[in-house]
Amino acid sequence: MGRLSVDLCGITLDNPVIPASGTFGYGYEFAELYDINVLGTFSFKGTTREPRFGNPTPRIAECTAGMINAVGLQNPGVEKVISEELPKMRKVFNKKVMANVSGFSVEDYAYTCERLDKCEEVGWLEVNVSCPNVHGGGMSFGTSPEAAKEVTKAVKAVTTKPIIIKLSPNVTDIVSIAKACEDAGADGISLINTLLGMRIDLKTKKPVIANKMGGFSGSAIFPVAVRMVYQVANAVNIPVVGMGGVSSAEDVIEMMLAGATAVEIGAQNLIDPFSSRDIINALPEVMDKYRINTLSEIIGGAK
């Protein structure tokens, strides 16, 4: 393994940098700008069982050191992702990809994961439990250990590839939820998803986005993400993928010291489409500056 390489659930990544779901499409859009095979891997756009048009517009609001979005999981549905999007992706990306899955019932999650698990190009399934539980009053599956455990068990029962459960930070006890997922058989945990935020237009005196509230992301949330990654990594015995406001090679190293095996880049891809590539290129110099020989040796080093 090279200086930058890490092992994520039994699969070696050339480096730990992973563009996050919802910020990198299906890869081929970015492949027009640079060779995306420099990436460790990427997590493609959140996929649901049925096609989704998404939320009404406007869906995006800017804010200091970040943004708020309420796109609403717009995607063509799992069958079209498999038949149309993955073949296009395969032409530009020759590594295993992370499939991000969302659902509104346990059955939704299980169906979509089972379908994507059969795809050769999929290496990991990143299961987003921040979605509303339509049978549980609209609260997300990720807000209770019991619901998160139920989803984890259901998807593990129908898959063979590593399952990484993506957790919401909008909870009071992130550790209990992560441990519940581990107990149910999760192979990894990724966090944090977006915080809940809102902007109000002073001229109209109304919320900026049609959905009123949305996911707050960007560099402003980085300290919260580091804290939660640290808490979870010290509580579980499975790999943690860290994300939330990462925008530099220094941020990647800080996240790994907190306990992350790999690090996802989200909103920064929307600010600068070359950011993931540039962060990878900057890592060796930053490692030299801080006398780090290999990235794998610093995982969880901040005790």
Q: For 36-54, how does the pLDDT look when each residue is reduced to its tens digit (9 = 90+)? A: 999 999 999 999 999 998 8
Q: Which residues are catalytic?
A: 131
> Residue 95 falls within a domain, yes or no?
yes
Q: What is the DSSP letter of 47?
A: B
The CA-atom distances, in angstroms, between 261 and each of 23, 238, 264, 294 are 20, 10, 10, 12
137 vs 180, more confident: 180
Q: What is the DSSP letter of 191?
A: E
Please report, for the domain that includes residue 288, its CATH number: 3.20.20.70
CA–CA distance, 169 with 177 (Å, rounded to integer):
10
8 Å CB contact between 25 and 107? no
Strand partners, 124: 98
Which spans in the chain are helix H?
Answer: 28-31, 78-80, 86-90, 106-117, 145-156, 174-183, 222-233, 249-258, 267-271, 275-289
CA–CA distance, 190 with 165 (Å, rounded to integer):
6
Residue 162 identity (one-letter amino acid) = P
Instruction: Quick: pLDDT tens for 209-253.
Output: 998 998 999 999 999 999 999 999 999 999 999 999 999 999 999
* Tokens matching residue 34: 């640079």
> Residue 203 falls within a domain, yes or no?
no
> Residue 170 falls within a domain, yes or no?
yes
> Residue 210 falls within a domain, yes or no?
no
φ and ψ of 81, to 5 deg: -60, -45
Does the pLDDT at position 134 exceed 80? no
Q: What percentage of the chain has pLDDT greater than the value 70?
A: 97
Given this model, what pLDDT does residue 132 score?
Answer: 61
Confidence of residue 1 (pLDDT cuts 50, 70, 90): confident
- Residue 245 belongs to what domain range? 6-54+73-198+222-298
> Residue 172 falls within a domain, yes or no?
yes
> Region 84-112: what's the mean pLDDT?
96
> Residue 204 falls within a domain, yes or no?
no
Q: What is the DSSP letter of 75?
A: B
8 Å CB contact between 208 and 156? no
CA–CA distance, 37 with 15 (Å, rounded to integer):
11
Confidence of residue 136 (pLDDT cuts 50, 70, 90): low
Does the pLDDT at position 137 exceed 70? no
> Residue 121 falls within a domain, yes or no?
yes
> Residue 208 falls within a domain, yes or no?
no
**Which residues have a Cβ under 8 Å from the Cβ of 12 and sit 6 or more positions away?**
1, 5, 6
- Give me the number of domains the chain comprises: 1
pTM above 0.85, yes or no: yes
The CA-atom distances, in angstroms, between 162 and each of 24, 27, 276 are 21, 21, 24
